[in-house]
Amino acid sequence: MKQKAHFIGIGGIGISALARYYASQGWKVTGSDLTESELTRGLRHDGVRIVIGHSAKHIPLDADLVVYSAAVRNENPELQCARKLGIETQTYAEALGDVTRKYFTFAVCGAHGKSTTTAMLSLILIEAGFDPTVILGTKLREFENSNFRRGKSEYLVIEADEFNKSFLHYSPQVVIATNVDKEHLDTYGNLGNVIRTFSQFLKKVPKSGAIVVNRKDRNSMQAFRSVRKMRHAPKMIYINQGKDSHWPLQIPGKFNQLNAEMAYRAAQFVGISKTVARKVLPRYRGSWRRMEQLVPRSKNGRGNDQLFFSDYAHHPTEIAATIDALKKKYPKKKLVVVFEPHHIGRLNDLFKEFTSCFDEADALILLPIYHVAGREKGLEKLKVAKDLFNAMRDRENPKKKMCLKNIQQSFKLLKKYSNSVIVFMGAGTIDANVRKVFNSKLL
């Protein structure tokens, strides 16, 4: 008889990939989430039974395991029911941690660039015949528009997310650390704690393994200091951004050059040549919501001189880097950003950085903040999108910007921006709303 696993919050990008992993291993998988999404629809299409909403009656009485996302709180009725029934429960991170111990695991950590670097590393390993299993934080064309790939070898590639200290549950042999930044301060409180926790994770790599790090990233190097002092330290592979990064990529941005170099150097550790990497990386056209080009369903008054993109950037560092990459790729076009702030805590922790990260854009349309369920208790009186709008408006030489109530209003305004690149940014609902109007080349 098949083992049964139920996933609470199955619509998350990471946990949905883990659910696919369990299904690929012969488990009968069910799941629930608060809302329908592209990810839940995709899982349902592939035979996973999914219900919308949370209720104790959704828990199969004969379940062997219940896995729940970091967004699920202890008072969740499904989680309470599973515990009352004596069913084993694990967080997403705990369950993925168990999986990592069954494989030779490559883990990609960092505040920014995880998904792209994980995708690049996976494609290099596939091209070299390593046939890895991959659990990814985005969707790839090469994986038939999925965030999961089932391999038949001993190799596993995962994203190692630092939110809620999730990555401390993982047991990797090779780690890529793209960067360390002031992020998830609702978990860490300050940058010092972020750096110390990254250091804890890096210390989990065994002497027989390797760590790939960007030497130019000060915070990463600070996290590495105590790792270098270990008696049985793993191999340290240092990347010099700008010096090592010269890859013929289709996707723009200096940061993607760095991502490619780090992916290659991790693959090189297991014997893969640069020839293989140079064969596959130029074919990589990007992934879901990473400077992903969109195509309008109809022109609807838009000219052929407008280009549209969707991007997951929701941290000031990511926003500025994406703007810079698109400006350099399309130097003769105006750049218009439509941004939905994500999580009131992040907006307030990084408020000063948010006021300046859009400086290189020619125009900004600011949407109301996306409130993250379960993570904003006690934050109701903090600054919101309108406060950010007012702060940017009061700066010297302000860019033309508008604070709007909904995405539909922004579409009307965008028609007047001729000869422009328009990028929709955010980690909340902005992408789902945009796709009601646009067709994606990927999807």
pLDDT given at position 203: 95
| Pairing verdict, β 133-140 and 174-177 | unpaired
318 contacts 147 by C-beta, under 8 angstroms: no
Residues 6+ apart with CB under 8 A from 86: none
Apex 362 CA angle, 356 and 363, nearest 5 = 80
pLDDT given at position 398: 60
CA distance 382 to 345: 8
**Would you give per-residue pLDDT tens digits along the chain (443 residues)?**
789 999 999 999 999 999 999 999 999 999 999 888 889 999 999 889 999 999 999 999 999 999 999 889 899 999 999 999 999 999 999 999 999 999 999 999 999 999 999 999 999 999 999 999 999 999 998 999 899 999 999 999 999 999 899 999 999 999 999 999 988 888 899 999 999 999 999 999 999 999 999 988 999 999 988 888 777 889 999 997 655 568 999 998 888 999 999 999 999 999 999 999 999 999 998 888 888 888 765 555 445 688 999 999 999 999 999 999 999 999 999 999 999 999 888 899 899 999 989 989 999 999 998 887 766 666 666 888 888 888 887 765 566 777 877 888 888 888 888 899 999 999 888 988 888 776 544 43
399 contacts 389 by C-beta, under 8 angstroms: no
pLDDT given at position 301: 44
Domains of the chain, CATH where assigned: 4-91 (3.40.50.720), 101-283 (3.40.1190.10), 292-440 (3.90.190.20)
pLDDT given at position 288: 82
Apex 42 CA angle, 37 and 45, nearest 5 = 125
What are residue 382's phi and psi, to 5 degrees?
A: -80, 175
pLDDT given at position 35: 87
20 contacts 148 by C-beta, under 8 angstroms: yes
DSSP string for residues in 287-304:
-TTSSEEEEESS-TT--T
pLDDT given at position 441: 45
